């Protein structure tokens, strides 16, 4: 796989606010044609939970953003979304760990998740990316699992059989896209670095956030 830089932390509400303030939702060049048509049709100008005091705390990851909003934000920062392969490498490290922290069985001191799909409180809450000191991978990437699943660039396909140096499965933009890492409503199984999930690109529920990547070619960021 080619080298890449990946965000140490998921995109927070504070970071996303700069995109909103800069007119990201009004700048067509940041969006794919399908994404621009969708955001116009649905008259969307901010994340789904932007006015909810529980989910809009500045230092927690932004949620309620569709795949299209996540990609537009990444483009605004001169980046893109990680491929499944990039996300998985960032999580599992060179040793191919089961979890970012290694092989230890998850417990509630390690990540924001729902044992047996049963959150401790029905009114669950997001957590800051540094809330769980062990939730960090070999490369220093934090909060990869739990809290919010993270959008990836790839479409979903049953089984993963994509080959090549920088594999990417792209079938149709409007089809389901992969999310990785599980969230506060998903169980420990989704914390595995290999666990795959998928949702339609329009999904804006408080299950999903994202982080960005920037490939490196010939020693320079592209």
Partner 1 sequence: MSVIVPTRRRRKPSSLRYYQDGPPAAVDIGTWSLTITGAAGVDRVLSFVDLEQVPSLVESRRYVCVCNWSVRELWGGYLLADVLRLAGWDGSTAGLYLKQTSIGTPEKGVYESTIPLGDAIDRRAILATRIDGEPLPLERGYPLRLLDFGLYGYKSVKGLARLEITTSFELGKWERKAGYALDGQIMPKRYRMCDLDRHEFLIRPGEVTEF
Q: Which is nearer to partner 1, 51 or 218 (CB)?
A: 51
Shortest gap between Cβ of 197 and partner 1 (angstroms)? 6
**Near partner 1 by CB under 8 A: residue from 8, 46, 50, 119:** 119
- Does residue 178 bind partner 1 (CB under 8 A)? no
Query: What residues are paired with 80 via a beta bridge?
Result: 213
**Near partner 1 by CB under 8 A: residue from 70, 89, 110, 114:** 114
Shortest gap between Cβ of 35 and partner 1 (angstroms)? 13
Q: How many residues bind partner 1 (CB under 8 A)?
A: 27
Q: Report the C-alpha gap between 10 and 12 in whole angstroms.
A: 6
Site string for partner 1, 122-141 (x = CB under 8 A): x-------------------
- Does residue 196 bind partner 1 (CB under 8 A)? yes
Site string for partner 1, 140-169 (x = CB under 8 A): ------------------x-----------
Q: Report the C-alpha gap between 145 and 34 in whole angstroms.
A: 29
- End-to-end, the C-alpha distance of the chain in Å comes to 15
Q: Which of the ranges 24-32, 116-124, 132-140, 164-172 carries the binding residues for partner 1, by CB under 8 A?
A: 116-124
Q: Report the C-alpha gap between 60 and 37 in whole angstroms.
A: 29
Q: Are strands 196-199 and 177-180 parallel, antiparallel or unpaired?
A: antiparallel
Interaction residues for partner 1, span 24-63 (CB under 8 A): 42, 48
Shortest gap between Cβ of 117 and partner 1 (angstroms)? 4
- Does residue 107 bind partner 1 (CB under 8 A)? no
Q: Which is nearer to partner 1, 133 or 200 (CB)?
A: 200
Query: What residues are paired with 215 via a beta bridge?
Result: 4
- Does residue 205 bind partner 1 (CB under 8 A)? yes
- In sign, the C-alpha dihedral spanning 41, 185, 20, 5 is negative
Three-state secondary-structure class, residue 5: strand
DSSP 142-179: BS-SSSSEEEEEEEP-SS----SSS----S-TTS-EEE
Which bin fits 131, alpha (ψ -120 to 50), beta or left (φ > 0)? alpha
Tokens (6 digits) for 36: 């621009």
- In sign, the C-alpha dihedral spanning 173, 55, 80, 180 is negative
Q: Which of the ranges 1-9, 86-94, 160-168, 183-191 carries the binding residues for partner 1, by CB under 8 A?
A: 183-191
Report the interface residues with partner 1, using CB under 8 A: 42, 48, 66, 114, 116-119, 122, 158, 176, 185-187, 189-190, 195-200, 202-205, 207
């Amino acid at each position: 796989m080619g080298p890449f830089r990946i965000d140490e932390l998921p995109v927070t509400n504070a970071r996303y606010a700069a995109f909103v303030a800069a007119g990201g939702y009004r700048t067509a060049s940041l969006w794919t044609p399908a994404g621009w048509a969708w955001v116009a049709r649905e008259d969307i100008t901010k994340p789904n939970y932007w006015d909810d005091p529980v989910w809009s705390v500045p230092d927690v990851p932004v949620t309620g953003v569709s795949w299209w909003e996540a990609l537009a934000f990444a483009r605004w920062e001169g980046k893109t979304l990680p491929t499944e392969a990039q996300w998985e490498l960032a999580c599992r490290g060179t040793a191919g760990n089961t979890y970012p922290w290694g092989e230890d069985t998850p417990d509630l001191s390690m990540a924001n998740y729902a044992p047996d799909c049963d959150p401790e409180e029905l009114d669950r809450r997001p957590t800051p990316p540094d809330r769980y000191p062990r939730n960090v991978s070999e490369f220093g990437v934090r909060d990869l699992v739990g809290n919010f699943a993270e959008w990836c660039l790839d479409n979903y396909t049953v089984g993963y059989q994509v080959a090549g140096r920088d594999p990417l499965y792209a079938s149709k933009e409007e089809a389901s896209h992969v999310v990785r890492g599980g969230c506060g409503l998903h169980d420990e199984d989704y914390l595995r670095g290999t666990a795959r999930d998928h949702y339609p690109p329009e999904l804006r529920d408080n299950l999903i956030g994202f982080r960005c990547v920037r490939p490196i070619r010939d020693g320079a960021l592209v």
